[in-house]
Amino acid sequence: MTGSESEGESARRRRPSVRIGLMAYLIRGVVRDPAGSPIPQARAYFVAGPEPYADVAALTDEGGQFTLSAPTPGAYRIECAAEGFSSRVAAVEVGVDEETRLEIRLSPA
């Protein structure tokens, strides 16, 4: 270690960099009302899948868009809910090496 180098800088320099390659199976979706307008702040979450999955939810942005990361390829059921709307479950098939797109339309409650 040099006189101008802190202990932390020296340790970071000596540590080998290891990158773990994890596959991400992305589901990109949009939630809309019956007229086609986006629904912001809707929740999208897994309700069924081919393997156990984390209890994860995504909120839609101002454009009604969300992204979920599935643990493995396969068939999933995603539920969407938003204040003032009836919730809806949609089925989606997540493939290998591809991004899955989904559009969900919610009806007023």
Are the C-beta atoms of residues 73 and 91 closer than 8 Å to each other?
Answer: no
39, part of any domain? yes
- Reported as a single tens digit per residue, the pLDDT across 42-78 is 999 999 998 877 788 999 999 999 999 888 899 999 9
> What is the C-alpha to C-alpha distance for residues 68 and 99, in angstroms, rounded to an integer?
11
Residue 7 lies in a domain: no
- Domain total of the chain: 1
Identify the domain containing residue 63 by its residue range: 23-105
pTM (two decimals)? 0.75
For the record, the structure tokens of 13 come out as 């320099």
- Judge contact between 90 and 47, C-beta under 8 A: no
Residue 45's CATH number: 2.60.40.1120
Q: Reply yes or no on whether the pLDDT at 2 is more than 70.
A: no
Q: Is position 14 within any domain?
A: no
Asked whether residue 82 is domain-assigned, the answer is: yes
